[in-house]
Each structure stands twice: as C-alpha cells, then as structure tokens.
Amino acid sequence: MLNGNGINGQRYVYLDVRPETVNKFAALDGRTNPDGTPYTTTGEEILAKLPDIIDFCRTYLGVDPVTQPMPIQPTAHYAMGGIPTNIKGEVVVDEKNTVMPGFYAAGECACVSVHGANRLGCNSLLDIVVFGKHAGLNAAAYANSVDFRPLPADPTSAVVERLNSFRASNGKEKVFDVANDMKSVMFKHVGVFRTEAGMNEALNTLGELKERFQHISVKDTGRIFNTELLNAWELGNLLDLAEVTATSALARKESRGGHARDDFPKRNDPEWMKHTLAWLENGKIKLGYKPVAVTKYQPKERVY
Amino acid sequence: MQVTLKIFRYHPERDKKFHYESYSLEADETDRILDLLEKVKGQQDGTLSFRRSCAHGVCGSDAMRINGRNMLACKTLVRDVGDKITVEPLLGLKVIKDLIVDMEPFFDNYKKVLPYFVNNSPLPADGKERYQSIEARARFDETTKCILCAACTTSCPSYWANGEYFGPAAIVTAHRFIFDSRDEAAAERMHIMGETDGTARCHTVFNCTMACPREIQITKAIGEVKMAMVTGKLD
C-alpha cells in the first residue's frame, strides 16, 4: 500500500461491509446466531453498529459503506507506550518500578502495559474506566495524606524561559512545515513498515528537524489563548517523542504486536520479551529494559 | 481550486474592535474548512486563533459560523460551501480571540441540569450490573450523541435574547438522563427544567435541530422533556 500497491495503484484497499457481502461469507462459513439459525445482517444493523465510521465515509469521501466498499488505509490511531505506571496509576521511574510519589498518569499518555504490545479497538476503555478511576482515587488519597512539599526558589523559571524564547523567536522556519515533515517521516519509516535503513533515515531527518526547530518563528506574542505558542511548545515535545520512538524501535530487533519489522519478521521471546524504557538526558536518549509480568495468560504469537 | 476565506479577526491585546481579513489559498473541494484554517495559520498568519482537537467531528471543539450557519469546521468540506467562505465565531457567547468564544456560560448552563448518572439504590443481588433492555437503551440513544459543541445553543434566538436560558444543549443532556431507565433523578431534573429559564424559553424555532452536526432531533427532544413534565410519564 505504501508504494501505491493498493487498489488500482492507489494507497488504499477496500473493506467491504455491505450486507450482501457479509451475508455471502457468513453463509460460506456456516456462521449461526446463538439460537442456531443462520446468521444474516441488514444495512440497518451495520449502520447501527458502525455509526461513526459510516458517517466519516459519507462526510469525507462521499462513499456509503452500506452500498459501496470503503477505501481504507493505515493511520496513527493511538499512542501505545507512554508514562510508565503501576496498576494504581502511580508513575514508576526505573527498571525496578520505583514509584515517584505524587505523580499519577492515566489514559493515552500513560502506559500501564495492560495491552501487551498491541492495542485493539475499544481497549482504551480499560485505560479510561479502570485505570483512570484508580489513578484518580489514589491521587486523591495521596493528596489527603501529605502536606505541600517545599518548592525550589524559582520553580517556574525554566518553563517561563522556554516560553519567552518562543515568543521572541524570529527565524525562517514555520512550525507548520516542520510538524508536517515530522509527520511524513514518522509515517513513512516508523509506522506500519519498519526497517533498520528506514528508521536510521528517520532519525537523521529528525535530527535535521530538531535543528530547523531552533529557527522557527512565533508571530503571536500575546498572552491570551496563544495557540501558535502552544503549537510550537507541542512540536518541541513531539520531536523528542518521535526520536524516542524511533530509537527504541530501531533497537528492538524483532516483530511484536504493533511493532512489525520487515528485516526481523519473527517474534523473539528469549531476547525481547521485555519493556523498553527511555530516558532523555541532556539531549541524549538512554534505553533500558524491564521484565514483563506474566500472570494468568501465557503470551503467545498472534496468528490469523 | 482557488478559494477566498474571509475570517472574523479580533485580538483583545491589539484590537479595539473586530474586523474581517481575507485570505486567498489553493484548496481541494474535499478539504475541510478546518484544513483551510490550519493552512492560513501555518503558512500565512500564525496569529489566527481557533479551537480544534480531534478534527473529525467527535470532540466538538471547532463549532463556528461558516457562511452564516453554525457548523463544525472539521465536518464541512469546501464542496459543501463553495469557494467564497466566511468564517465567524459562534453568536451569543463573548469572543475571546478570533474564532474562540468564552464557553464558560455554556458549561454553566450544562451543569445546572445534573449532567451525570444518578442512582443511589443498592447494587443488584449479584453485585454486578444494572441491566437495561435494548428498548430502554434505545429510548435515549439519540441524545447520547451530543458532543457539547454549542452549535445548537448559539443558533437559538431565545438564547441570544436571554443568556440565562439553559439552552438546547443543556436540555438535550437532561433528556439523555431523564429517559434513562437506570437513572433516579428525572423528577429533580424536570423540576429544574420547570424554572423560568428552563424549557419554557424554547419557542420551537428549530434552529438547534438545523445546526446540530450530529443530526440530533433537538427540538423533538425538548418537546419530549416538556411532555414528560406535563404528563409525568417517562416512556
């Protein structure tokens, strides 16, 4: 699909959920309802089950999935990985799961590692409903149990300095262009298809983008709802995260879950059944690993 | 194709008064209006300010007036509105900056209707779920679709005339809980709706229904709440 190997040389393939197609294959497979009668579906049922997807197709593509096949392609859907936490939502900072007191994370920013190396549809509900609740309850209990900690003399200076440097910036580069170039290179080389050569190229490009980022300009100097400043701030963080993602993916010489390498297509449990940890120290990335806690379910290869 | 985007501009730290600025740019007919705003901000004028987040009609951040009608910039394509496009902030809420309005009064009204599930009865004997039939769930399915974008409330002449009116979005939320068979605060919500600034201020103009990007039949939902208040019946 990446190189136009999809339908008619395009970068997409079709997903066909038309009732006649679903019914044809359900009959071939002998699929049945719970009461044993043959399974069949209708356009109304498909619409009721996939209202948002169908609305997206109708709105953005002018394609009605009830009567036409949907063109589909991969996209970034969710950020697996994140701030490591334990099941209480407490942030842990090293290989030994040492808790940093008073720091909690939950949701897409967090990594409680409940999904293994993949994140399937609807699994974010676990992050939200279960671990969001526990992180909230535990954070509230912690806040009630401790007094305010003494702050350093000038706790905001680093952030204020950075914001002021953005506000005063007057370079030739545009945040919009640097961000788009970052998206392109990450999609192309650190997305669905990953190889050593591609990821090295991505890391080189990210280095160039970081350099270009030093020469951006922020025209909005205001202090009220300054979204241009926010975009610049976010891009700086995203460039760091992109580099961490590419570096840890390059180091992991196997395929597992959402991490699929063309040059190492097999899963390698003896060497790689472990979590990657990454530290950014003085602009340099340091990688570390911690073991996977295997409990009720033995990990095994996912086959289709 | 070449499109012209005429945008309402107001920076509180710079401008005494709002003005309009026109931007000309290349666009595809399948581009979203949000794409055009991002392009203007990214390539022509970084100071242009607007809210956006998910960019596909789920988060409700980018409701604005496009050619005079309330729409989500991320669900409106160039081919829907043509090549001369005017973009303005929602009406009836104070403009903070460019296309960004103060949503606080909107959410203050929302909070008035107890926008959360209330059930203080003991859990069922098995300690697990409060069951609900498919039919009972379907009763309020329509109003669960609300994304709180404020397109409805800020299209309502009754709300423009009186910002104390709870507005259609708040009543949609009230409907979502009033008709939920598991919820126990319907009577309390209907009492709140009976206040001067509740459902009585709806004059069935239907602007809200026209404006809703989720195609919720809002005027009908308000009517159902009114009917339940009169009859006391929730089915």
pLDDT at A128: 86
What tokens does A144 get? 């009630």
Is the pLDDT assigned to residue A121 strictly greater than 80?
no
A218 contact B CB<8A: yes
pLDDT 10s digits, B128-151: 889 999 999 999 999 999 999 999
Instruction: Lowest mean pLDDT of A68-72, A160-164, B127-131, name the range.
Output: B127-131
Of B42, B45, B96, the CB nearest to A224: B96
- H, E, C per residue of chain A: CCCCCCHHHCCCEEECCCHHHHHHHHHHHCCECCCCCECCCCHHHHHHHCHHHHHHHHHHHCCCCCCCCEEECCCCCCCCCCEEECCCCEEECCCCCCEEEEEECCCCCEECCCCCCCCCCCCHHHHHHHHHHHHHHHHHHHHHHCCCCCCCCCCCHHHHHHHHHHHHCECCECHHHHHHHHHHHHHHHCCCCECHHHHHHHHHHHHHHHHHHCCEECCCCCCCCCHHHHHHHHHHHHHHHHHHHHHHHHHCCCCECCECECCCCCCCHHHHCEEEEEEEECCEEEEEEEECCCCCCCCCCCCC
The alpha carbon of residue A271 is apart from the nearest alpha carbon of chain B, in Å, by: 38
Q: How many CB pairs under 8 A join A and B?
A: 56
- Average pLDDT score over chain A: 92
**Residue range A67-79: mean pLDDT, rounded:** 88
pLDDT at A287: 97
> How high is the mean pLDDT in each 10-residue block of chain B (235 residues)?
97 97 96 97 97 95 98 97 97 98 97 96 88 95 97 98 96 98 96 95 97 97 96 85
Which residues of A are less than 8 Å from B50 in CB distance? 227
- Comparing alpha-carbon positions, the chain B residue that sits nearest to A221 is B47
Is the pLDDT assigned to residue A3 strictly greater than 70?
no
pLDDT 10s digits, A176-225: 999 999 999 999 999 988 999 999 999 999 999 999 999 999 999 999 99
Q: Which bin fits B232, alpha (ψ -120 to 50), beta or left (φ > 0)?
A: left
pLDDT 10s digits, A134-155: 999 999 999 999 999 889 999 9
pLDDT above 90 covers a percentage of chain A that reads 76
Which residues of A are less than 8 Å from B32 in CB distance? 60
Instruction: Lowest mean pLDDT of A8-12, A97-101, A158-162, A242-246, name the range.
Output: A8-12
Is the pLDDT assigned to residue A5 strictly greater than 90?
no
CA distance B67 to B84: 8
* Residue to substitute from A56, A169, A216, A220, interface B, most B β-carbons within 10 A: A220
pLDDT at A302: 73
Is the pLDDT assigned to residue A288 strictly greater than 70?
yes
The alpha carbon of residue A226 is apart from the nearest alpha carbon of chain B, in Å, by: 7
* Residue to substitute from A183, A228, A231, interface B, most B β-carbons within 10 A: A228
**Residue range A261-282: mean pLDDT, rounded:** 95
- Comparing alpha-carbon positions, the chain B residue that sits nearest to A180 is B42
Looking at domain A163-291, its CATH class is mainly alpha
**Residue range A288-293: mean pLDDT, rounded:** 93
pLDDT above 70 covers a percentage of chain B that reads 100
| Start-end of CATH 1.20.58.100 domains in chain A | 163-291
